[in-house]
Amino acid sequence: MPGYSYTAIDTFGTEQSGLLDALDAKQAAAILRARGLFPTGVSVAGAPVDKVERGLRTRLEKSVQRPGSTPEKPATRGLKMELRLPFVRLVGAKALAVFTRQLATLLKAGMPLLRGLQVLGRQERNQGFQRVIEALAEAIKSGGTLSEAMAQHPKVFDRLFINMVKAGEAGGVLDVVLDRLARFQEKSLQLRGKITAAMVYPLIVMGVAVLILTGLLVFVVPKFQQIFADLLKGAPLPALTQMVLAASDVVKNHFLVTLGVLVVLGFAFKMFKGTPAGAKLIDTLIVKLPLFGPLFLKAIIARFGRTLGTLLSSGVPILPALLITRDTCGNSRVAGALTEVHDRVKEGAPVARPLEATAVFPPMVTSMIDVGEHTGQLPEMLGKVADIYEEEVDNAVAGLSSLIEPILILFLALVVGTIVIALFLPIVRIVQLLT
């Protein structure tokens, strides 16, 4: 048998190396695992080819790469890091989902937690996130728990993440919980992507409309104003024309004032939304918007079901799970309803009845939760609620895509047509005066 040199990690995270006899590198790795070691490098004696670690890295890349996607080049990722702005989150949702999936893959493969964090820290391109991962590894090396270490970085790991990790540590199933958490994050990213896709087209069309309107008011309308002044010789203009000319004067001659007013209104809106009453009013109006309101509500319900179901299936108690779901639902109206549900459940009531009493969730949702409570399958039923409403979001996005295009075309025609009519009304009067 050929001799193989190896390096491996034992259950205490200590690196060991040595020689053993095996038919091939695969058998050598199996022998090491049978001894309770995790191989990080196996090669023929005298030929340092780290096939095991290279294979492990390949598995990590495949575990987070979706079909049809192209791997990101290191140079591109480095550029993204350099262009990171100070007000942008240190770690994006996608990067955190990738980290969670990779760590779950390593732990399922049998790698110790400390070694897994060290491997992920070395390959992380985002220097800020790399320092966070290294801090997690140092905390584990000092005898702390992963959840305690993550709690020191609240801007990276939210309450949901920390509580699920804590539940996984308590139950000894950290790899399973991380896998659930990774699936939850991936589902959330998909849902967010669908909502973004539904909003991108209208926003682009609205932006084009604003540019066209600005161009007409700044460059076209003033020329007609001079023509009207020369030919009508002080005769009164139609009301619609006067409105368009006044708007042109504001945009062209008072641009900075207009911009300042818009900025002030934006800050005032943000401050109003920061108050409890303002947030509740705005969030209520959002879910009642025509066309987009039902889409937002379905997305909120899907997130509620996915979050609460994932927390409960990971071993988080119902009361903390409700509070975490409340804090991550993204809508103050739904958050207020979940606070009421939490208080009622704390008094001994089931989840379905107080949830129905809030009149926020549709009857189908409360009925499914009621069935889940009676059958002892509440986490599974919440997962089905999330699946149903995520599919509803898909259908709503598809319906909006076909419906919103003619509406936006009509809107553009109305804006441009109003300006054109306003400019031609005085021309008709000029023609009448000339004849």
Tracing tokens 């996607």 back to the chain, one arrives at 69
- Please determine, for residue 29, whether its predicted confidence score (pLDDT) is greater than 80: no
Neighbours of 142 (CB within 10 A): 8
- Please determine, for residue 293, whether its predicted confidence score (pLDDT) is greater than 80: yes
pTM: 0.63
For the four alpha carbons of 105, 109, 110 and 116, in that order, the dihedral sign comes to negative
Query: What's the pLDDT score for residue 69?
Result: 41
3-state SS, residue 324: helix
Query: Rg of the chain over CA atoms, in angstroms?
Result: 30
pLDDT digits over 138-150, tens only? 988 888 889 889 9
User: Average per-residue pLDDT in the chain?
Assistant: 80
- Please determine, for residue 71, whether its predicted confidence score (pLDDT) is greater than 70: no
The answer to whether the 64-157 and 159-435 domains have the same CATH topology is yes
- Please determine, for residue 47, whether its predicted confidence score (pLDDT) is greater than 70: no
Query: What's the pLDDT score for residue 10?
Result: 61
Give backbone dihedrals phi and psi of 105, rounded to 5 degrees, phi first: -65, -45
Residues in the chain: 435
Is the CB of residue 305 less than 8 Å from the CB of residue 385? yes
- Please determine, for residue 376, whether its predicted confidence score (pLDDT) is greater than 50: yes
- Please determine, for residue 35, whether its predicted confidence score (pLDDT) is greater than 90: no
Q: Which of 81-95, 196-210, 228-242, 263-277 has the lowest mean pLDDT?
A: 81-95
pLDDT top residue among 237 and 345: 345
- Residue among 160, 205, 200, 204 at smallest CA distance from 182: 160
Token pair in block for residue 341 = 């549900």
Q: Where are the alpha helices (DSSP H) in 216-317?
A: 221-232, 239-253, 255-274, 276-287, 292-313
Which residues are 38's β-sheet partners?
Answer: 9
What CATH number belongs to 159-435?
1.20.81.30
Query: What's the pLDDT score for residue 54?
Result: 47
- Residue among 299, 345, 300, 297 at smallest CA distance from 319: 345
Query: What's the pLDDT score for residue 402?
Result: 75
Q: 87: exposed, middle or buried (C-beta count within 10 Å: 0-12, 13-18, 19+)?
A: exposed
Q: 85: exposed, middle or buried (C-beta count within 10 Å: 0-12, 13-18, 19+)?
A: exposed
pLDDT top residue among 12 and 132: 132
Domain boundaries, the chain: 3-49, 64-157, 159-435
Taking the C-alpha atoms of residue 74 and residue 87, their distance in angstroms, rounded to an integer, is: 24
- Residue among 171, 174, 186 at smallest CA distance from 104: 174
Average pLDDT, stretch 116-137? 90
- Please determine, for residue 264, whether its predicted confidence score (pLDDT) is greater than 90: yes
3-state SS, residue 144: coil
Q: Where are the alpha helices (DSSP H) in 329-377?
A: 332-346, 352-357, 363-375
Per CATH, which fold does 64-157 belong to?
Receptor-associated Protein (1.20.81)
Query: What's the pLDDT score for residue 86?
Result: 40
Query: What's the pLDDT score for residue 38?
Result: 64
Q: Which of 72-81, 223-232, 390-399 has the lowest mean pLDDT?
A: 72-81
Taking the C-alpha atoms of residue 235 and residue 227, their distance in angstroms, rounded to an integer, is: 12
3-state secondary structure 65-83: CCCCCCCCCHHHHHHHHHC
Is the CB of residue 221 less than 8 Å from the CB of residue 244? yes
Average pLDDT, stretch 398-411? 79
Q: What proportion of the chain, given as a percentage, has pLDDT over 70?
A: 85
Taking the C-alpha atoms of residue 112 and residue 108, their distance in angstroms, rounded to an integer, is: 10
